[in-house]
Structure 1
Amino acid sequence: MGTQGRRRKTDHDRWKPMLARAATATALLTGWTVYLVLASVVPARAESKLELASTFRNESDVPCPSGTFRCSEGKCIPQTSICNYQKDCEKGEDELNNCPPPECEQGQISCGQYVFNKTYCIPPHYKCDMTVDCVDGTDESDCTYRKCQPEDIHCGAPTTGLLSPVGRAANICVPKEKKCDGYLDCRTGVDEDGCPGTACRLDQFRCANGQRCIDTALKCNHKNDCGDSSDE
């Protein structure tokens, strides 16, 4: 082999690992599996039998391991992540496959239909309050609404809830006796505006000191949760 031939072989050997690293880097950066055959790095005697070719395979074509679920974006998640009331797939299909509704906390009532990421458990005072909270409207079905009296407190339209049936939200009223009683009878809280002490939700217990609200489940639990023992 002449000097020129040896130089060509030396150059060829020098570039070979660099080309291999470049192909690997391309695969890592693009997130695709790349099978690349480079005619320039094979011996000259085989060049006539090889052609430059590449095959790309998307990650979604790779089977997920046993006991996992494939999301539409190709991600594999454990089967235990399905119907766990948390969105693990980008489009949330792990929570949209006929999942059972969650268990409501003590004292809450459930809506008639469960839809992921929509209200399902509500406090009892949300029932028949002229504001639809359930996606199926069952919290406002079979209701008899109180007619406002001249001396009533007008609550105004609430900022929460899906909608109000036939536009009656602005006509929500509570008796005047509810003013400053320590409880949020209006969802807007206007019945407790300017009142002393802390206003509690209707599903809470208001301590006698007027400064603390506790869950009703904590009442009579042999612990001084209020600080003044009024819960015991």
Structure 2
Amino acid sequence: MTFTKMRVLMCLLAILPVCHGAVRDTYRRSKTSYNTNSMLRYKRNAPCRYWQEEFRCNDGTCITAHRKCDGVIDCPDASDETYYLCRDVRCPDYYFRCTYGACVEKTALCNGISECADNSDELHVKCRNVTNIIGSQFKCDDGNLIELYLQCDGIFHCGDGSDETSITCSGVTCPANFFQCAYGACVDSQAQCNNTIECADGSDESNILCNRRDQKRISIKSSTITPIQRQNTNLCVLPPHPKNGMFIENGVSSIYRPGTIVKDFYLNVTCQPGYKVVGGNFIICLDGFSSPNRLPTCAQCGTLTPRAEPLVVGGKISERGEIPWHVGIYKKTISGKYQLICGGSLISRNIIVSAAHCFWLEGYGMLPEEEFAVAVGKLYREWNHPRDELYVQKSDVKKIILARRFHGIELNYQNDLAVIIVKDPFDYKPYIRPLCLDFTVPFYENQRRHGDLGIVAGFGLTKDHKGSESPILKVVDMPYVPFEECLDKTPIENAEYITNDKFCAGFGNGTSVCKGDSGGGWAYGIVIDGTLRYFLGGVVSTSPFSYDGSQCNIYALTSFTDVFYHSPLIRRYWMP
């Protein structure tokens, strides 16, 4: 065949849809091999500039532009069907979107023929005869169970890694404010090229995606974003078991030997009954690089130190250890003093949840981290109160992360939530313990119902609520009020502040929170395995103003920012 005839044939193949469809079917990649057949197709690639719209493969070969991201490998180097090229493709409703982004006909799903280059059309959950979902849990291939929301979140929670694979995550659709990993998992939208691996396969930090010539030193995502630590050699040493728990290597505890030198490891931590993992529940070491730089711990989250009398309805003076998760947030003044401005809730050794408006100045924006300090284990408001000396732990603030789209009063205090990372992690004591978190939907829907009591602590204004600040920590019971009822009972001039991420709590009988209590947690108790544990449900946000000149309306309901609504932000820095 002459070269001229070859050109004519190539043009015909490019413009005739029936002919093109036949070629697609003939040279579909099978599950086992595509090399032999696809090479026949590669030979038909003409020199560049023969089509008005063309795509140049990484090896220099050119194909027609419509053949990229169509599920069929046309480039000799397969560069026309990659995650990095196709990830932003938007498929029409009548097409099926492959996990890596290509578009194929909807009939491709579960038809027994691999029509996506990554086989995701045949790995989809709809194609399986069995399921790994058991109630609200995901069953790992090794038989262990994890919470369902932990699958496909970019972090290995199964000892065998089966919760973060293309098989498990095929068919996952990520919300608009998430980044989708190459294998299908969903991570925070800011994960792309932030020098922290947040996808289990590292696709969010690929050199190709981030336009890097050389591999940069990056860290692996854990409960806190910390740089990878370099050991003295390229080998790893198995760490000692955590107190009240143990490490499990590759899903088996019997083979674990602390102090053993290995090339790499992936460890899960499990805690004894009555204890929960706080911080990341895994640690990785690869060729001497390990992350995170602090080992996971087992602690009694959400438990109270035994006290002499039960909590009573209405404000009362707290006893030390009664609210062990409460954090005092202080602002440094020009004179060098520390002024208490808000409260917060400890959820791990170095992570606090509070209200965004505590760190916001209208007309300016977020205030610098260096202007704040935090303290736990305190019973008295004063920063250096002598009676707190034996118990208190203090730290400067390393980083403040406000919820996206928080803009103070301009947006009616919507998204009024902040995550604070401290410089010096706290040590757990009987009077310093983290609050529990659970973001599973069944737990969320079943455990917070109308009238359920939660407890709130703070150093806010006292009963006269006209300027006298409480010198000692106080605690109050506040019943849960759903969004709709809260909106009905809120004065019309304040209704705009009851945004869709809020719920309310309170009696409206003169017992309430007030100025200085902002950011404190609304914690509700659940009996689990015979132990009463408290979980963080909301963060003190706003309350209607008072008409009598006082600084707060103690006869109105208080609005709380719902932590479940902001679970993606919190989970980015904390993992159970």
Larger Cα Rg: Structure 1 or Structure 2? 1
TM-score in terms of structure 2 length: 0.17
Q: Point out which structure has higher relative CO (alpha carbons under 8 A, 6+ apart).
A: 2
Give the helix-richer structure, 1 or 2: 1
Give the strand-richer structure, 1 or 2: 2
